[in-house]
Amino acid sequence: MSGGAALLANPALDRHRAYGEGERAILSLAKAAEAHRAISAWDGYRPTPLLSLGRIAAEAGVAEVLYKHEAHRFALKSFKALGGAYAVERLVAARGSADGLTVTCATDGNHGRAVAWGARRLGVEAVIYVHETVSEGRAAAIAAFGAEVRRVPGNYDDAVRASAEAAAANGWTIVSDTSWPGYDLIPRDVMQGYAVLALEAEGQGARPTHVFIQGGVGGLAAGVLSWYWEKEGASRPVLVVVEPDRADCLLVSAKAGRWTSVGGDLDTIMAGLACGEPSELAWALLSPGADAFMAIPDLLAADTMRLLAGEGLAAGESGVAGLAGFRAAAGDARMRAALGLDAGARILCIGTEGATDPAIYREIVGRDAADVEKEPA
């Protein structure tokens, strides 16, 4: 059964469209390699593990399910270091100095933490905006890296606007993982860092037929799509973008045939994906290049967290979204057929975060993350 998930085959998909100059101006294999060279030089870098979830694959009736486990990426417990921190480094390099530089962004938690960590690495001031439903635990984790955290009413998109207004008033530089008219250079660096995930996975032996990837504003999905689209063209894996059903701006945009925002409080346990407005840069790639969009309810994410805990993996609410989407699709005959999920399918999911808020993790799973999975030596 689909468990309340909804699937939309992308009506604008053009799998035979070449990855041309317009697409490479946003993201490219060459720039992904450049990002990898920079990030792999950081202290503490190592590729995150690519795990084979054999029991889940067998239950789903597919050949393989690979799960790239980002729970121990640097000090951040999430993939976001590849984006926010890399963009801060690029910014400082372009300026030639960190003197007088203050960076700012809005966040649901992980991106702001990455920007704060990257700022501290380079001696840059950081002011991070969080909205009213971001947990105290996630706000405290950002502040622990020396950033000033400012809480504003409303949802993620309200925090984006507050950060932009403060940047304009104070001469700060926005380091955002989303883009809008007149602001698109730094988000390219953020998304380009995310493509390192696909580069690492390929080096670890991943040869997926399908990728189930988190939505949010679309930056991660676009980064991973760009890698496979430019490298493999029409023979690339089927890419399915997975969002919370309470924050499904990408699916709604695909259904409308144009960039579209969704309103409301965007209240979902998948806090890192609680975004109502797509990144325009990401949408420029996802609109013609993603195969399908899924929206899933919170209960599927929570169930997948508990399933992975049984496998000895502590995975956060947003981190399991791709895998939860796959499980829902694999359990629904119509979705299986629409996506070609047969016995030979090889699935790649990105476990984008670990237990980034220990209290919320304990509430959902019923165990402490430290009891589920030990920190690596």
The full 3-state SS of the chain, as one line of letters, equals CCCCCEEEECCCCCCCCCCCHHHHCCCCHHHHHHHHHHHCCCCCCCCCCEEECHHHHHHHCCCEEEEEECCCCCCCCEHHHHCHHHHHHHHHHHHCCCCCCEEEEEECCHHHHHHHHHHHHHCCEEEEEEECCCCHHHHHHHHCCCCEEEEECCCHHHHHHHHHHHHHHHCCEECCCCCECCECHHHHHHHHHHCHHHHHHHHCCCCCCEEEEECCCCHHHHHHHHHHHHHHHHHCCEEEEEEECCCCHHHHHHHHCCCCCCCCCCCCCCHHHCCCCCCHHHHHHHHHHCCEEEEECHHHHHHHHHHHHHCCCCCCCCCCHHHHHHHHHHCCHHHHHHHCCCCCCEEEEEECECCCCHHHHHHHHCCCHHHHCCCCC
Task: Give the active site residues.
Answer: 80, 108
